[in-house]
Chains A and B, each alone.
Chain A
Amino acid sequence: MSTTVIDSKKAQQPAAQYSPLKEFWRNYKKKKVALIASVFIFLLIVIAFIGPYIAPYDPYEPNYDAILEGPSAAHFAGTDEYGRDIFSRLLVGTKISLTVSFSAVFLGLIAGTILGLISGYFGGRVDKVIMRCCDVFFSFPDLLLAIAIVAILGPGINNVIIAVMIFSVPSFARLVRGATLSAKENVYVEAAKSMGASHTRIIFKHIFPETISELIIFVTMRVGTAILAASGLSFLGLGASPETPEWGVMLSSGRDYLGTASHVVLMPGIAIFLTVLAFNLIGDGLRDVLDPKIKNS
């Protein structure tokens, strides 16, 4: 019914000015919830950069005379078990938490995409081997993997990134493989093949772009999951170094005070919750707009 409206709008615009980005934005700005979430994440990224400069206190400086104080005018989010200002720690920690999750997802994306492309494009035995490996990884409890990785590589934030990355490789591989399989059937891929284009060229020039929209959606959601995974590792004591103001570390070290000074565990918990929520809402919004199968009617 509304298709005619869209058509007429399109007709009004000169064909040369049509851009997919504009089209995307026109649809995306209708998603109120996703839009609010995007603004939130944008602010968060700004904080990640300016956090250390606007933090009212040194996030590492203990003050044993002001331990476990509730929120007040001096300390917006109260103080922790060493008298450190929780608000300042959250501000400074934004960068760390975002860096951990972004880099873990990014690395997982690269590795998973390559595996998925190879698997889907070549098919046959290669496909079977890669997919069986993914199955094995899936049936392995995450935790054992994490412990193994952290145990072999030693503790520290970089190894948290690696552990979280490894969780996401199989899911990326599966996703990209699926998209590749359907893209492979396209006529222009056949055409490129018959013209003698190299495998690498076909994969990256013709097939990879087809998988992008699904990847964007998945990456957005995965960032949220990565933040949660990092905090899960901290819960088990396998996270970043305990003095780091990474949110997961703050959350898990604060949990002993839930009954006595609940702000110590509530504040980082809320920060994590809102951030992950925002990433997921953006992901949902993107799906509605980008996924060709759910076009707005």
Chain B
Amino acid sequence: MHHMKKILFLFACALLLVACSSNNEGSKGTDGSTNAGADKGASSNSSSSDELVIAVNENFISMDPHNTGDTNSNAVQAAMLEGLLGFDNDGKITKVLAEDYSVSEDALEYTFKLRQGVKFHDGEAFNAEAVKVNIERITNDEKLRLYSRGFNLIKSVEILNEYEIKVTLTEPYGPMITRFGVAKMISPKHIKENLEEIPKVPVGTGPYKFVEWVQGDHLTMERFDEYWDGNDRVAKVTFKPVPENGSRVAMLKTGEAHAIYPVPAQNMPELESNSDVKVTTVPSTIARYVSLNTFKEPLNNEKVRQALNYAVNKEAFIKVVNSGLGTQLDSIIPSKTVYYKQQTSFAYDVEKAKALLAEAGYPDGFEIEIWGNTNSDTMKGMQFIQQQLAPIGVKVDIKSMEEGTLSDEIYGAQTPEEAKLMMWYVSWSSYASDVTNATKPLFHSTSFPPNSANTAYYNNPMADKLMDEANSTSDQAKQAELYAQLQEEVYADAPWIFLGVDEIVYGVRSNVSGVEVGPGGAISVQNAKID
């Protein structure tokens, strides 16, 4: 019996230990206030009306604005950090920390007039010197993501006066304006004294200042009362990564989250009928397509590629795969992207597809592999393509690969000859203002993997020339004309199966206002309020 007692005692101790430590955990995270998330209906009571919880689908990776590659990190940073320029909800360039700017005719000199009276969260003043420190941080460190995206072309940064600064490039670079929107400003003191801390602790000029980041669980920020553009917003914002779709939706329904992004399309009907929740859709800049390896048989035949496009019912694609959301991709770039020009799309026509295949010498079709990652949406899309191509005799073999393996298979090929990739079900998104990034990595002959993402191995000297010319001018009318030509040229060649443009879908509780998601997936909480 003695031993039994010992065991029981051990159990009791363990139980106590867990109970105590869990309690500590609870009170630490919520500053003593109880977290009322679980109480149905009562979730948005007085105690939480000044704290906004937003659930997103992926973990945020870094808080270093100069070294961020993922949308979610960007979205979280946006509330705390600001750039000279920014983007509105249509993806257009707006002036943020710059009151005004001008670009020289040769597209080499950028002059910014800075906003006055702006303060960083650590009390430092925002001025030309601060901008210089930030730009130099990027140009001096080639490890940073932004370095090779335009900043390596910066020849000099010149302070004209305390609130005016001039940046000179060595050669013209089309998307430079977009880059000034992406490059958010960090407090110069923070850069000088806490360089190591930058990936963890962002100190900027934004409407919210950083509080804590518990890796993998949440990131919390609080209102910055000395913000240059007023204080009329909720006092606290917490971002939580919740990758499982069902769990994220459940959080919105129970009120544990005030806003979620993205809302899985298949949950739309369920949420739309729920009066506690508002669901909003916004056309995105995310193009969804299947890239076709134009270098290899049988896809090197233009007729085959066109046949594949005719064989796919894009309306059914939107209905089945995107649960009815989104629009057809009727150019090589989404309609929200600048200089977009609609093309005559390949209307669904199985007979025409069969005829084209026969003309190309494949009357009985062929077998081919389609690659994609392991996301449930991708797998759904690949199955759809498989079903659509079956009637014209094209037998599609689905190979879904874990992201790292997939990337290795694609970028491991050093030359087009080595490539094993035939069809890739994928999406591409870029800033609405950045047409260069929406075209050059995908269609320029210098962008073949492993150099960039031209996985169609599309090689058209005419298209190359159009892109190069458009990049080296700052004349917008001329750019518009060149990009119009480019879209016509490439679309007709069908280097992709053009599928659709995604819709951004986000949901907020009905008592929440001012939370908005832009076409690139940036979440804005600047005007957020809870009633």
Contact = CB atoms under 8 A, between A and B. Distances in A.
Q: Please indicate whether A and B come from the same complex rather than being unrelated chains.
A: yes
Contacts of A241: 397-400
A255 B249 CA distance: 12
A93 to B, nearest CB: 15
B386 A243 contact: yes
Interface string B236-273: 00000000011001100000000000001011011000
B387 A82 contact: yes
Contacts of B270: 259-260
Contacts of A64: 316, 319-320
Interface stretch (B18-26, B371-379, B438-446, B499-507): B371-379
B374 A236 contact: yes
A81 to B, nearest CB: 7
A257 to B, nearest CB: 6
B260 to A, nearest CB: 13
A238 interface: yes
Nearest to B379: A242
Interface stretch (B42-50, B186-194, B401-409, B476-484): B401-409
B267 A259 contact: yes
B40 interface: no
A111 to B, nearest CB: 25
Nearest to B321: A81
A65 B249 CA distance: 26
A81 B383 CA distance: 11
A56 interface: no
Interface string B290-332: 0000000000000000000000000010011000000000000
Interface string A41-68: 0000000000000000000001010010
B490 to A, nearest CB: 30
B108 to A, nearest CB: 47
B465 interface: no
A147 B403 CA distance: 11
B50 to A, nearest CB: 30
A237 B398 contact: no
A253 interface: yes
Interface in A241-270: 241-243, 252-253, 255-260
A81 B264 CA distance: 14
Contacts of B398: 241-243
A241 B395 CA distance: 14
A123 interface: no
Residue of B249, B374, B382, B386 with highest tally of chain A CB at under 10 A: B374
Contact of A238 (B264, B374, B387): B374
Contacts of B101: none
Interface residues of A, number: 25
A237 B266 contact: no
Given A82-B384, A237-B374, A147 B320 contact: no
Given A64-B316, A67-B320, A237 B382 contact: no
Contacts of A81: 266, 320, 380
B377 to A, nearest CB: 9
A91 interface: no
B269 A242 contact: no
A83 to B, nearest CB: 8
* Max chain B Cβ within 10 angstroms of own Cβ: one of A81, A150, A237, A252: A237
A243 B382 CA distance: 9
Contact of A62 (B249, B374, B376, B387): B387
B380 A253 contact: yes
B379 A151 contact: no
Given A67-B320, A237-B374, A155 B387 contact: no
Contacts of A154: 399, 401
A82 B320 contact: yes
A152 to B, nearest CB: 9
B264 A256 contact: yes
B379 A253 contact: yes
A253 B267 contact: no
Contacts of B383: 82, 242-243
A170 B379 CA distance: 33
B142 to A, nearest CB: 31
A287 to B, nearest CB: 25
Nearest to A258: B246
A243 to B, nearest CB: 5
B380 to A, nearest CB: 7
Contacts of A67: 319-320
Contacts of B269: 260
Contact of A155 (B264, B376, B401): B401
Nearest to B401: A155
Contacts of A238: 374, 402
B387 A256 contact: no
A155 B382 CA distance: 14
B58 to A, nearest CB: 15
Nearest to B398: A241
A65 to B, nearest CB: 10
Contact of B404 (A151, A155, A237, A258): A151
Contact of A256 (B250, B266, B316): B266
Contacts of B404: 151
Interface in B349-402: 373-376, 379-380, 382-384, 386-387, 397-402
Interface string A62-89: 1010010000000000000110000000
A251 to B, nearest CB: 12
A277 B266 CA distance: 31
Nearest to A152: B405
A81 B245 CA distance: 16
Given A237-B376, A237-B400, A253-B376, A151 B384 contact: no
Contacts of B397: 241
Given A64-B320, A151-B404, A255 B374 contact: no
Contact of A151 (B250, B375, B405): B405
Nearest to A264: B266
A230 B58 CA distance: 25
A253 B378 CA distance: 11
A224 B270 CA distance: 34
A237 B387 contact: no
A155 to B, nearest CB: 6
Nearest to B408: A151
Given A237-B375, A237-B402, A259-B246, A242 B266 contact: no
A256 B401 contact: no
A156 B398 CA distance: 9
A156 B245 CA distance: 25
Contacts of A236: 374
Interface of B: 245-246, 249-250, 264, 266-267, 269-270, 316, 319-320, 373-376, 379-380, 382-384, 386-387, 397-402, 404-405
Given A62-B320, A64-B319, A253-B376, 16 more contacts: A82-B383, A147-B402, A154-B399, A155-B399, A155-B400, A156-B399, A237-B402, A243-B383, A243-B386, A252-B376, A253-B379, A256-B264, A256-B267, A259-B270, A260-B269, A260-B270
Across the A-B interface, the 5 shortest Cβ-Cβ residue pairs:
A237-B374, A242-B379, A151-B405, A62-B387, A259-B270
Interface of A: 62, 64, 67, 81-82, 147, 150-151, 154-156, 236-238, 241-243, 252-253, 255-260
9 contacts: A64-B320, A81-B266, A82-B383, A241-B398, A253-B376, A256-B245, A256-B267, A257-B266, A259-B267
